[in-house]
Amino acid sequence: MVTVDRLVKDYGTLRAVDHVSFTINKGDILGFLGPNGAGKSTTMKMITGFLTPTSGTATIDGFDVAKDPIEVKKRIGYLPESSAAYPEMTVVEFLTYVAEARGITDKDELNKRLADVIVKCHLDSVKYRSIENLSKGYRQRVGVAQAIIHDPQVLVLDEPTDGLDPNQKHEVRKLIQAMSADKAIILSTHILEEVEAICNRVIIIDQGRVLVDESPAEFKARIPGATIDEVFRDLTKDSALA
C-alpha cells in the first residue's frame, strides 16, 4: 500500500534522508525509530507530499506523490510533529474545517465523523474550547482526531503519543491498534516499549540511513537478554558520540 523507494532529501549540503526504502501493507504498523535529527520527520513529510524529495519516490495505493499529490493526500491521515492547528479556532470548528477540506460536506456524515473522533480521542470535555487554551496533551489529541476524521487508508503519525499522560498514551496505542486491521500505519516514536507493544515492524534510521528493518522480536533478539533500549543504544552509539 505504501512504497517508499530510495528517498533522498538534501538541505543544502546536509543529506537529511539518504536512500530510504520500504514497503508496508494493510494491517502493518511500522515503528520509525532513530535519534534526534535522524530524518524521521523529513521522511514522513515527503511521504505526505509536504516536502518534495531530492530524488526517489513515494507511492500510495499506486499513486506517486510527485505526480498525483491530491490522490495521495486523500488517502493519508497525517499528524505533523508540531501540532499544526489554528489556535483561535475551537476544537469543533477546527475538526469541521479539516473534514470539509477533506471533502466530507454532507451534514449528517460530518456530524457522525465529528462525534466519532471526539469519542475516540476523548475530546468531549474540551470540544468548544479554543485550541490555544488547551494543554499540550489535549492539543496532541486534537491532532490525532484530525488525522483520522476521514478514516484514511494510510496513517502517518509523527510522535503520536508525545506529550500525553500514561493513561492517554495507552488509549492512543489502543486506538492505533484497533484501527490497524484495515490501514497501513507509520508512526515515529522515541518510546521503545511502544514499538514492542504495537508495531509489527521496526525501522531504525540514523543520519538519514536505514540501519535496521525487521520485526520487534527479531530486533530484540539481536543482543540476547538485552532490552530494546539497549539494542537501540548499541546500534546508534556512533551518532550519539559524533
Partner 1 sequence: MPIFKKEFFGYFRSPVGYVILAVFHIMVIGLALYSGYYSRGEASLNTLFQPLPWILIVFIPAVGMRLWAEEKRSGSIELLFTLPISPRSAVIAKFLAALAFIGIGLALTLSLAFTTGYLGDPDWGVMFSGYIGALLTASAFLSITAVCSALTKNQVIAFVISVMICLFATLMGSDWLAQFLGSSVPTAALDFLRLMSFEQHFDTMAKGLIDISALSFYITLTIACLGLNLIVIER
Does 56 sit near partner 1 (CB under 8 A)? no
Binding positions for partner 1, 214-233, rule CB under 8 A:
none
Given the DSSP bridges, would you call strands 201-206 and 29-33 parallel, antiparallel or unpaired? parallel
- The answer to whether the beta carbons of residues 221 and 230 sit under 8 Å apart is no
Give the nearest distance from C-beta 191 to partner 1 in angstroms: 22
Q: Please report whether residue 69 would count as binding ligand ATP according to CB under 6 A.
A: no
Query: Do the beta carbons of residue 139 and residue 81 sit within 8 Å?
Result: no
98 binds, among partner 1, Mg ion, ligand ATP, none (CB under 5 to 8 A by kind): partner 1
d(CA 121, CA 139): 11
Q: Three-class SS of residue 158?
A: strand
Relative orientation angle of helices 166-179 and 136-148, to the nearest 10 degrees: 10
Rounded least distance, CB 196 to partner 1, Å: 29
Closest distance between Mg ion and the C-beta of residue 203, in Å? 14
Q: Does 96 engage in binding with Mg ion (CB under 5 A)?
A: no
Stretch near ligand ATP under the rule CB under 6 A, chosen from 33-41, 70-78, 130-138, 141-149: 33-41
User: Are the beta carbons of 204 and 46 closer than 8 angstroms?
Assistant: no
**Unique residue bearing C-alpha cell 479539516:** 98
Whole-angstrom distance, CA of residue 66 vs CA of residue 51: 10
Q: How far is the CB of 65 from ligand ATP (least distance, A)?
A: 17
Tell me which H or E stretch contains 21.
strand 14-24
Q: Which helix (H) or strand (E) holds 52?
A: none
What is d(CA 240, CA 242) in angstroms, rounded to the nearest whole number? Answer: 6
Strand, helix or coil at 132? Answer: helix
The contact pattern for partner 1, residues 126-155, with x = CB under 8 A and - = no contact, is: --------------------x---------
Interaction residues for partner 1, span 16-45 (CB under 8 A): 45
Kindly tell me which of 14 and 115 has the beta carbon lying closer to ligand ATP: 14
87 binds, among Mg ion, partner 1, ligand ATP, none (CB under 5 to 8 A by kind): partner 1
**Considering the rule CB under 5 A, would residue 41 count as an interface residue with Mg ion?**
yes
Positions touching Mg ion (CB under 5 A) are 40-41, 81
Which residues lie near partner 1 (CB under 8 A)? 45, 48-50, 52, 70-71, 73-74, 76, 78, 80, 82-89, 97-98, 100-103, 146
